[in-house]
Amino acid sequence: MSTPVQQLFNLEGRTALVTGGSRGLGLQIAESLGEAGAKILLSSRKAADLEEAAAHLQDKGIDARWVAADASQPEDARRVVDDAMSRLGHIDILVNNAGATWGAPAEDHPLEAWDKVMNLNIRSLFVFSQLVGRASMIPRQSGRIINVASIAGLGGNPPEMQTIAYNTSKAAVINFTRTLAGEWGRHGITVNAIAPGFFPSKMTKGLLEKLGAEKMAAHAPLRRLGDDDDLKGVALLFASAAGKHITGQTLAVDGGVSALTGG
């Protein structure tokens, strides 16, 4: 017998840890999972932002709490996972969203900036996934890992977008997703990635001002940028029973940009 579709997308009784969850895309994903019934633990560096984000979710009736930490530091990641296990009991869903970018020509890109981007955008995904896998998902033989990649990881850039470290890190996220999915499928763990296109956010603000939001929107077949709802559906699909037979996949949510470039 098939399962009613409302039940497939129901996350009641589930728990979710969302890194980089205090604003932007991370908060949108947290909102989606919480509205479907999951308990949420947000993490990012700034306590004030987290407090505001948790209050926003709580105003929507979502069970949300937070812990401040630097996702690029393994010691902080361990503390976050320990805190999540203590406060939630287990971790059903891990959303690896914390990330950073750096704009500079490749010939002048500082090595320390390269390391900063790589440590946060890809090493932290490995660290958090390993910690959560060991602590909760592998012992329970169940779990959902959602990595936030980018369409920047699907190809190169036009000359005016000088983000070589960011693009490289997001390409690594995509293959990390495939590889971990292959290894952990036997544990009942799915691993998938979302590749957003251009969404207005603190990270993209400078680039959108430089290139023009209307110009960037015009590159997409749908002729618009992403909004506050556009990641909710795919996040819920990957996190819920509706997506239980999907793993190792990267879904672009970009208004069709990657369809034109072959990404």
Which residues carry out catalysis? 166
Q: Contact at 8 Å (CB) between 163 and 99?
A: no
Q: SS3 for 20?
A: coil
CA angle 114, 258, 182 (to 5 degrees): 70
Whole-angstrom Cα distance, residue 258 to residue 263? 5
Whole-angstrom Cα distance, residue 26 to residue 17? 10
Whole-angstrom Cα distance, residue 139 to residue 113? 37
Alpha helices in 111-256 (DSSP H): 111-118, 124-132, 138-140, 164-184, 205-211, 213-218, 232-239
Could you tell me if residue 179 is left (phi over 0), alpha (psi between -120 and 50 degrees) or otherwise beta? Answer: alpha
Q: Contact at 8 Å (CB) between 220 and 255?
A: yes
